[in-house]
Amino acid sequence: MSAIGAIGAISTVGNTLVQREALKSQQAFQQNQIAFNKEIAEFNAEDALNRGKEDERQLRERSKRVIGAQRAALAAQGIDVEQGSALDIQLDTAQITEIDALTIRNNASREAFGFKIQAASDTAAGAFSSIANRSAQRQTVLAGGIQAFGQAASGFNSGSSSSSSSSSSSSSSNSGKKSSNSGGK
C-alpha cells in the first residue's frame, strides 16, 4: 500500500467523521428550533382562548350597562320595563349580546385550533427531520467508508504494481545478463 493511498483513506475517514458531527449538530439545532416553535404555538393557542374569554366577559359587562341604561331611560319616561316593548328591547339587546359572545368564543376557539395544528405540524416536522438527518448521517458514513476503502485499495494496488514491475524489470535484466554470459562461452 502506498503512503499516498493511506493518507487519502485517512483523510476521507476524518472528513466523514467531521461531516457526521456537523449533521448531528444540525439535527440538534433543528430539534431545538422545532421544539421552541411548538412551545410558542401552544402558548399562542392558550393565549387565544384566554383573550376570547376576556373579550366575552367585557362584552357581557358592556351589555349589562346598555340594558341598565335602557331600563333607566324607559323608566324615566314612565314605561313599565318588565313588559311589552320595553321588555322586548332588553331581550333583543341580551340576544344580540349572546350572539356576539358566541362569535367571540368561536373565533377564539378557531384561532387556538390553528395554533394547535401548527404545534402538531411542528411535532411531525421534528420527527421527519430527525429521521432524515439520521439517514443523512448513515449515508455520509457509508459513502465515506466506501471512498476510504477505494482509496486504500487503489493505493495498495499501485504499491503492488510498482513493486511487481520493478521485480519483473530486474528479472528481465538478469536474464539478459545470463544470455550475454552464455553467448560469450
Confidence class of residue 185 from pLDDT cuts 50, 70 and 90? very low
Are the C-beta atoms of residues 44 and 115 closer than 8 Å to each other?
yes
Least confident interval from 47-56, 82-91, 119-128, 133-142: 133-142
Among the residues of the chain, which ranges form H helices? 3-76, 84-184
pTM of the model: 0.62
Cell of 3: 503512503
pLDDT tens-digit map of 2-50: 666 667 777 777 778 778 788 888 888 888 888 899 999 999 999 999 9
CA distances to 53, 67, 164, 181 from 178, in Å: 109, 129, 21, 5
Grid cell listed for 119: 404545534
**pLDDT at 168 > cutoff 60:** no
Top pLDDT among 171 and 134 is at: 134
Q: Is 75 helix (H, G, I), strand (E, B) or coil?
A: helix
Q: What is the mean pLDDT of residues 133-162?
A: 72
Model confidence at 179: pLDDT above 60: no
Instruction: Say whether pLDDT at 170 is over 80.
Output: no
Q: Is the pLDDT of residue 136 over 70?
A: yes
Domain spans, the chain: 3-154
Within a 10 A sphere around the Cβ of 50, how many other Cβ atoms?
12
Can you tell me the mean pLDDT for 147-168?
A: 60
CB 113 within 8 A of CB 64: no
What average pLDDT is seen over the chain?
82
Q: What is the C-alpha end-to-end distance of the chain, expressed in Å?
A: 44
What would the pLDDT profile of 44-89 be if each residue is shown by its tens digit?
Answer: 999 999 999 999 999 999 999 999 999 999 999 999 999 999 999 9
pLDDT at 162: 46
Residue-level pLDDT at 103: 97
Average the pLDDT over 111-134 and give the result. 88
